[in-house]
A and B are shown apart, each in its own frame.
Chain A
Amino acid sequence: MIIRQLALRQGRRSLAPQWRSARRWMSSEVDSISSSMQNSLNETHSIESMLNSLPGERVQPIDDETHQTADTENIGTVFAEFKRQRELQKPLGAIVTPHYEPHTLVTNPPRPSDISLELLLASQAHMGHSTSLWNPGNARYIFGIRDGIHIISLDQTAAHLRRAARVVTAVAERAGLILFVGTRPGQDRAVVKAAELSGGCHLFDRWVAGGITNGTQILGRGKVKVVDEFDQEVPGFEEQLVERASVKPDLVVCLNPMENYVLLHECALNNIPTIGIIDTNANPLWVTYPIPANDDSLRCVQVICGILGRAGEEGKTRRLAAAQAGNITFTPADGFVMPGEEKTEQQKLPRVLKLGASIEELEKQDAMGNRPLKKDPLPRNFIEGEVRERVPRFHDAKKDL
């Protein structure tokens, strides 16, 4: 360790370009060149001799259990001194102009109010894919072609990102469960942070197929809890939780839709709105709220995920503030009775309607406030290669709750 540091320090000095010698070389004086070479040779020899004189032995540990050695015994004080020195020296030197610090996108992500074309351009949100890989559905988001790749129009990106942020805020305000999904390597920290900010869930590993359509089997083991408007757990409902179906997200934010076909398909089948980063090669119809941007740049993905996480945080703050003022901003869970009480005959009826149920049965279910499970399929917006205006269907799944 010591030897390596010494070699690095001394070697750097000896190898550094010496302007004086260079100038001498320019002046074409033969004597000076040979003397400078002699000098550097001497220096190298002196380093060599110094290295050879150093003992090559390692310090023997004095304690087998803790592996303390004579010189590491006081490592605590040495380290404290090192930290103190570092703090002392922090304000010294040149003032560094603001620059890109990659970790800040995760530790302190930007807010929806920070969305600007400069931010998006700096994070390479405009870089699309090779023109041959494009999906024509993205035509309206594409600004042009440069060096064989599509350039995404950043004003479209900003507008769509703002809309998505508003959606996330609104869902979080209504206590919707937001699931952030980013399954590419490196996206995990951004996804976890966004979920933490917005009080939602995260997924960075792999979507287990059937998590929504076959939730009882796939997620049945996962623990759920009953919380009140302040997100505090309410005890006493554990027995009633056992017979309930698994929890489904109310909004899914997918950072890489290309790899998550199964998830988005399941969301569409269950009428769960989705937000996704749509690169020029992705199908914009897979998600409800597309954000045209570069999904291959980690920086861009972290910016977008961070903004949506912050949007969720804002919604959550609003919800908690409303709860403090005594207002409930969400629809409470149905089908619960007070602990210790019996369920009424109506509540005991199955919530799932069988195929071929009569009109009377449907009306009866509607009167009880139970929604029929089968929904209308998603409207087909893509007709004969022409992209139609997508009607925002914000959270219509919640309307008939």
Chain B
Amino acid sequence: MGVELRYGLRRALHSLRAPPTWQQRSCVASSHRTSRPSKAFSTSTSHRQEPFTAAPEINLSAENNIPILKRIRVVPASPSYFSGKPAFTDDLLALQALLRKYQTLPVVETGHAPRIAWRTFESYKSFLGSEPIKASKYQRLVAILHRLNHIHPSLMPQEVKDAMERYKREINPFANVAKPKPVDEWGRAMGLGRRKTSTARAWLVEGEGEVLVNGGSLAQYFGRLHDRESAVWALKATQRLDKYNVFALVRGGGVTGQAEALTLAVAKALLIHEPGLKPALRRAGCITRDPRKVERKKPGHLKARKMPTWVKR
């Protein structure tokens, strides 16, 4: 502003003192010309006159006289500057204020709010930059978010939605739901199960309880009674043994592994027919994949963990 004013004043002074330039002289000349009686009433400007705008009015208020360097000071960008973690403190205060504002809105029952995956502690830390925040401090923030999320969805204010958006993970893991597998045109449901190094595929159709494993009957394929039982344990535990026929293909591993891979495969196929059986099957232990595998042998060890006998010398 000061610069502009100074420039304007200088131009004004210059125009007062300086002898007329060729442009001004030509203006004067043209005005002489227009004052001739033949063109006395013409109001149009000559084509030689360039259009211009006059200098702005002089602002006499005092602030423009003070140069910028004489009226600046350095202040912290955030009022939480001295806490050492200003961005986090500002976030916390903003969320606390938001919760205070919408405290009286109706809430859904505990645990009935839509599931949201909040940023992990590490992700939030990198999001803020390099502020020394502790996990317990971030937990305070998440607790407020959790409470805000419990505001009844039909009354959730837009302000809260926007605020929560900032703390959500980019990918919502709860939105990643497995596609339900349908029963095919012949009434078959396929399930895949694994255990140790065995893989089993089982097809379930409604029937009278016939079981074929790799082309043979259950008794032919599994010599041990225990293995036969575990192969069809999902049907037995839910008393569906006489309602379905099983056709299974098993590959790899040993007898126990194959039998227990079948348990999982049959259970998964059964779930396609009757999804309501899931709690019962879970209680029967048919849904969880057993992750245990043979542990690899390590160098310096005799087996996976066994060490050679210690010799004194």
Interface residues of A (CB under 8 A from B): 61, 65-68, 72-73, 75-76, 79, 175, 177, 179, 192, 195-196, 200-208, 211, 218-219, 221-229, 231, 234, 237, 241, 244, 247, 249, 323, 325-328, 330, 332-333, 336-338
Q: Is the CB of A325 within 8 A of B62?
A: yes
Chain A residues within an 8 Å CB radius of B73: 175, 226-227, 330, 332-333
- Can you list 5 pairs linking A and B with CB atoms under 8 Å apart? A73-B154, A75-B152, A201-B82, A208-B84, A223-B78
Q: Is the CB of A225 within 8 A of B75?
A: yes
Number of interface residues of B (CB under 8 A): 38
Q: Which 5 A-B pairs have the closest CB atoms?
A: A326-B62, A223-B77, A66-B153, A208-B84, A326-B63
Chain B: CB-nearest residue to A234: B72
Give the residue of B70, B76, B152, B155 whose beta carbon is less than 8 angstroms from that of A332.
B70
Interface residues of B (CB under 8 A from A): 61-63, 65-66, 68-84, 86, 89, 93, 105-106, 108, 112-114, 129-131, 152-155
Question: In the complex the two chains form, what is the Cα distance from A258 to B113 in whole Å?
Answer: 44
User: Within the complex, what minimum Cβ distance (angstroms) separates B204 from chain A?
Assistant: 27
Give the residue of A65, A203, A204, A332 whose beta carbon is less than 8 angstroms from that of B114.
A65
User: Within the complex, what minimum Cβ distance (angstroms) separates A4 from chain B?
Assistant: 14
Give the residue of B63, B65, B77, B131 whose beta carbon is less than 8 angstroms from that of A224.
B77
User: Within the complex, what minimum Cβ distance (angstroms) separates A29 from chain B?
Assistant: 51
Question: In the complex the two chains form, what is the Cα distance from A222 to B75 in whole Å?
Answer: 11
Number of A-B contacts (CB under 8 A): 128
Chain B residues within an 8 Å CB radius of A234: 68, 72
Residues of A contacting B: mostly: loop
Question: In the complex the two chains form, what is the Cα distance from A207 to B113 in whole Å?
Answer: 38
Chain B residues within an 8 Å CB radius of A73: 154
Q: Is the CB of A222 within 8 A of B81?
A: yes
User: Within the complex, what minimum Cβ distance (angstroms) separates B180 from chain A?
Assistant: 14
Chain A residues within an 8 Å CB radius of B66: 326, 328
Known: A67-B114, A227-B75. A332 touches B131 (CB 8 A): no
Q: Is the CB of A225 within 8 A of B84?
A: no
Chain A residues within an 8 Å CB radius of B108: 67
Question: In the complex the two chains form, what is the Cα distance from A68 to B108 in whole Å?
Answer: 9
Question: In the complex the two chains form, what is the Cα distance from A200 to B76 in whole Å?
Answer: 9
Known: A247-B75, A247-B76, A328-B71. A67 touches B153 (CB 8 A): yes
Question: In the complex the two chains form, what is the Cα distance from A65 to B114 in whole Å?
Answer: 6
Known: A201-B80, A205-B89, A222-B86. A79 touches B74 (CB 8 A): no
Question: In the complex the two chains form, what is the Cα distance from A336 to B68 in whole Å?
Answer: 10
Chain A residues within an 8 Å CB radius of B68: 228, 234, 338
Q: Is the CB of B62 within 8 A of A79?
A: no
Give the residue of A201, A204, A241, A244 whose beta carbon is less than 8 angstroms from that of B81.
A201
Question: In the complex the two chains form, what is the Cα distance from A219 to B80 in whole Å?
Answer: 11
Question: In the complex the two chains form, what is the Cα distance from A323 to B130 in whole Å?
Answer: 37
Chain A residues within an 8 Å CB radius of B130: 221
